[in-house]
Chains A and B, each alone.
Chain A
Amino acid sequence: MKWQNESFFELSQDLLFVIDFDNIILEVNSACDKILSREKEEVIQLPVLELIHPQDITLTLNEFSNNLNNGKSTNFICRFLHKDSSYRWMNLNVSVDFKNKLKYVVARDITDSRNAEDELHRVFNNIPALIGHWDKNLINKFANTGYADLLDNSPENIKGKHIKDILHDRTYQKNISFINRVLAGESQVFEREKILEDGSLRHIFVRYIPDIKENSVVGFFVVATDITVLKNLEKERRDTETKLIASAKMSSLGEMAGGIAHEINNPLSIIYGKTGQIKRKLESKNFDLSNVLNELSKIEIMSDRISKIVKGLLSFSRNSDEDTLSPCSIVQIIEDTLELCSEKFRHSGIQIDLKFEENIQIECRASQISQVIMNLLNNAYDAVEKLDDRWIEIKTILVGQFLTLTITDSGSGISQNIQEKIMQPFYTTKEIGKGTGLGLSISKGLVEKHQGTLVYDQSCENTRFIVSLPVKQSYKEVKSA
């Protein structure tokens, strides 16, 4: 095969040129016209640096002198000036010919791929996510500006560094277990808080995703999102809910207030009356000791009744949201709740039947369960108050690992079209000013917080609500299964 050096030089798609040790261009191929729109004559005898982007001149000079010093060919990227004043990204390969004191330069136009890369960076830096890529030796391969900001750093500075040198010491210690697990091939999800310079707190949701190549983990990706807005909304919702529950609780207490006043008034009247009469007897010095002692014990019983009511009120009204769930006797909870309202029922001639088949302890927040029972009893009271046949039955049964508490009243059930709405907040069939419409929806929420259920029993010919609560909170998976 016969071939010519000159054609090889001329026909190359890459820009080829020869410069002397003073960096003056001596020869150039026709690619110069194609890539930079410059004629050969225009370029020959020109110092090559005049074609290079001012910001790349230092780099170019450094590479050229390295090249002279060690005699090896060098490879670097810099920008060349196009005739139209734009710049082209060129990948340069420079070889030295010491004998003739010449340098041979092969320059490949990489502008298109470089632009695509820039565009990709632009996209990565502008999407509202924090993105990073680490190899399995924990050397950074990529960080977008968002991720770099999170690490109080810049993408350029992070690239190529070990994670230990980038993360703050404490953060590294906190993250090390996640790092180990993601490198074992397991995606990791966690949350971090970051305090900004202005003192504001940001919530960051972080995911570590293994980078798997040919069945082995070669590194991991970091995708993090600022979820502060979401967190704040969630907190707002929780706060509103807490306030709502508290106010509904107080309003159901308000509905009971008249009854509670009466509950306390009767024993108080007895204490007053008996005390006065005993005093009179003692002053007359004409008394029977055993009779006086008997009267005193009646005062004692009445004081005990008041103290039970006060205890019931306290446990009902306490804000127990932060309480841990602890084993409580369901019978005790029901009895404490009834202390607050039994008189009201008795005076309206409503019979309360208690059927405690099982007296067991359930893991719960007693005051919340008491609130549920009080709400159901309030509803039952309003439903049967004006009926001829007035009764309410409270029953407990143990079904597997669940305690079933049913509250049935002598009403004749709830019509189908209303059934659907009763659990909705603010839905009420009671007259204005009497019900908030929150009792059932809040009760349902409270029961669900205990991994339980509150439902209306359609199969009962009377009006019955069924509360089902796990005896132990760890049995929740049994229920969901």
Chain B
Amino acid sequence: MNILAGKKILIVDDEELLREILMEELGFYGAEVTGAENGTDAFELIQKNKFDAIITDVRMPGGNGLILIKNINEKIKDLPKIFICSGYNDISPEEIKSLNISYSFTKPFDRQNFIEVISQALTNVRKINF
């Protein structure tokens, strides 16, 4: 069950309950999860801590997700895995590639697929018994 044990993951979403769900979900699989409600706060945390993965919403007041990802790409040496999780269709496959985004989840998304994608990206384990 502790498939994500030891993995440090940052969730960035302005919707508190969504943050809560993702944190609980990842926590359930053993990850060490931190939350931030906007891009600015998130970037501060990233500068101070090392994360294995960042999962961020795109449109948020007080710090847009794409700007956050650009900042991470430009300023963070040890690049974490980056995932976006958005209700909008506002990012092109080219952008996903150029911004080093591992996967783009579209809300509302499937929990099982979510964990599978994250864990494969972080641990190379694909098969999970739910």
Contact = CB atoms under 8 A, between A and B. Distances in A.
Nearest to B13: A266
A302 interface: yes
A272 interface: yes
B88 A258 contact: yes
A277 B88 contact: no
Contacts of A277: 21, 24-25, 28
A262 B17 contact: no
A270 B17 contact: yes
A273 B87 contact: no
Interface residues of B, number: 20
Nearest to A263: B87
Interface in B1-55: 14-15, 17-18, 21-22, 24-25, 28
Nearest to B130: A280
B21 A270 contact: yes
A310 interface: no
B61 A347 contact: yes
Contacts of B126: none
A228 interface: no
A268 B108 contact: yes
For A262, A269, A298, A346, the residue with the greatest tally of chain B CB atoms inside 10 Å of its CB is A269
Contacts of A326: none
Interface in B80-127: 87-89, 107-109, 111
- The SS class assigned to the B binding surface is loop
Contact of B60 (A272, A273, A302, A347): A347
Contact of B22 (A266, A271, A273): A273
B61 A349 contact: yes
- The SS class assigned to the A binding surface is helix
Contact of B59 (A269, A272, A298, A348): A348
Contact of B87 (A261, A298, A302, A349): A261
A262 B62 contact: no
A273 B111 contact: yes
Interface residues of A, number: 21
B61 A274 contact: no
Nearest to A264: B87
Given A262-B59, A346-B61, A349-B61, A273 B21 contact: yes
Contacts of B60: 347
Contacts of B108: 265, 268-269, 271-272
Contacts of B109: 269, 272
A191 B17 CA distance: 64
B18 A273 contact: yes
A270 to B, nearest CB: 5
A269 B87 CA distance: 9
Contacts of A274: 17, 21
B31 to A, nearest CB: 15
Interface in A278-292: 280
B18 A269 contact: yes
Nearest to A268: B108
B15 A273 contact: no
A128 interface: no
A273 B61 contact: no
A298 B17 CA distance: 8
Contact of A262 (B22, B25, B61, B88): B88
B85 to A, nearest CB: 9
Nearest to A345: B61
A258 B89 CA distance: 9
Contact of A266 (B18, B28, B89): B18
Contacts of B14: 346-347
A257 to B, nearest CB: 11
A280 B111 CA distance: 12
A160 interface: no
B84 to A, nearest CB: 14
A302 B18 CA distance: 11
A234 B109 CA distance: 52
B78 to A, nearest CB: 30
A276 interface: yes
A471 B15 CA distance: 39
Contact of A273 (B25, B59, B62, B89): B25
B21 A266 contact: no
A272 B62 CA distance: 26
A270 B59 contact: no
7 contacts: A268-B107, A269-B21, A269-B109, A270-B17, A270-B18, A274-B21, A346-B61
In the A-B complex, the 9 residue pairs with the smallest Cβ-Cβ separation, listed nearest first, are A273-B21, A265-B87, A347-B59, A269-B108, A262-B87, A349-B61, A269-B107, A265-B107, A268-B108
Interface of A: 258, 261-262, 265-266, 268-274, 276-277, 280, 298, 302, 346-349
Given A273-B22, A346-B14, A346-B61, 9 more contacts: A261-B88, A262-B59, A265-B107, A265-B108, A269-B87, A269-B108, A276-B111, A302-B17, A347-B14
